[in-house]
Amino acid sequence: MNDSTVTLDSADAPQVAVNEPIISIDDLSFSYDLGDTNTLRNISLDIPAGKVTAFIGPSGCGKSTLLRCLNRMNDLVDTAKVTNGKISILGQDINAPDVDAIELRKHVGMVFQKYNPFPKSIYENVAYGLRVQGIKNKSVLDQAVEESLQKSALWTEVKDRLGTSALGLSGGQQQRLCIARTIAVKPQIVLMDEPCSALDPIATARIEELITELRQDFTIAIVTHNMQQATRVSDQTAFFYLGKLIEYDDTEVIFGNPKERQTEDYISGRFG
């Protein structure tokens, strides 16, 4: 990563070499309330570029909260606040006063647990973010829509009905459309919050294949309740419990030879 500070509102944000930290979380504590209760406590980890990092742990352990901290989605909660530490993306403290959350989200896209296509055509769903950025040239939009649908493994299924409502697609197709919509604006980082939890096994397998392909172009952080899914799609895995990061290592180490007893107990099904 460059030594100089990078501004996230730059139109040509720098690329980070594969395996180099693109996200650095340093002693982060975070609270949703006005008291002293921290949902996250003293979290520190680096997320490498060009890899898939999985967040695992029992419900309520803070993994989705941390994911939402990475693109400041928690700003939408009035009482939410970082109480300690910082998150740096592309060398920039993302909670610094001069960082605009909307600009940040151009570099850090998000796919939610429940697929949420807009009540628009398939084409307009994918083109939406580009139009918001002021892109009006039809040939540019056409190319971006096709490329994004290709990358999301949806093009061959929808290319003859781009003008029809996205709400007519199956659940799995709608989630892939949401992925296409996210990557159309070419973020460097894609966050996925349990993207398969509302899908059947066949649709889940398609999304998992897609995640494996997308790591060639994007850094991905995924929250998953499915430990088998973490082993299939991720390079690194972070295990959280009660708001703390218990262990973070290569996925094969976490699931094959964990160093912490709590990690071993969780992945072996003793609790969770």
Q: What is the pLDDT of residues 188-200, one digit of tens each?
A: 999 999 999 989 9
CA-CA distance, 144 to 165, in Å (whole number)?
19
Share of the chain above pLDDT 90, in %: 86
Written as six digits, the tokens of 192 are 């996925």
More confident residue, 3 or 92: 92
Q: Are 245 and 66 in contact (CB under 8 A)?
A: no
Entry pTM: 0.91
Residue 33 has what pLDDT? 83
Model confidence pLDDT, tens digit, residues 240-254: 999 999 999 999 999
Residue 9 pLDDT > 90: no
Q: What is the pLDDT of residues 120-151, one digit of tens each?
A: 999 999 999 999 999 999 999 999 999 999 99
Q: In terms of residues, how long is the chain?
A: 272
Q: 77 with 32: CB under 8 angstroms?
A: yes
Is the per-residue pLDDT at 6 higher than 50?
Answer: no
Interatomic CA distance for residues 89 and 102, integer angstroms: 14
Give the pLDDT band of residue 13 (cuts 50, 70, 90). Answer: low
Confidence of residue 10 (pLDDT cuts 50, 70, 90): very low
Query: Sheet of 189-193: strands edge to edge?
Result: 108-111, 189-193, 219-223, 52-56, 236-241, 244-250
How far apart CA 202 and CA 136 sit, in angstroms, is 37
Kindly report the number of other CB atoms within 10 A of residue 225's CB atom: 17
Q: What is the mean pLDDT of the chain?
A: 92
Per DSSP, what are the bridge partners of residue 25? Answer: 45, 87
**What SS3 string covers the chain?**
CCCCCCCCCCCCCCCCCCCCEEEEEEEEEEECCCCCCCCEEEEEEEEECCCEEEEECCCCCCHHHHHHHCCCHHHHCCCCEEEEEEEEECCEECCCCCCCHHHHHHHEEEECCCCCCCCCEHHHHHHHHHHHCCCCCHHHHHHHHHHHHHHCCCHHHHCCCCCCEHHHCCHHHHHHHHHHHHHCCCCCEEEEECCCCCCCHHHHHHHHHHHHHHCCCCEEEEECCCHHHHHHHCCEEEEEECCEEEEEEEHHHHHHCCCCHHHHHHHCCCCC
Using an 8 Å Cβ cutoff, are 61 and 41 in contact?
A: no
Give the pLDDT score at 19. Answer: 80
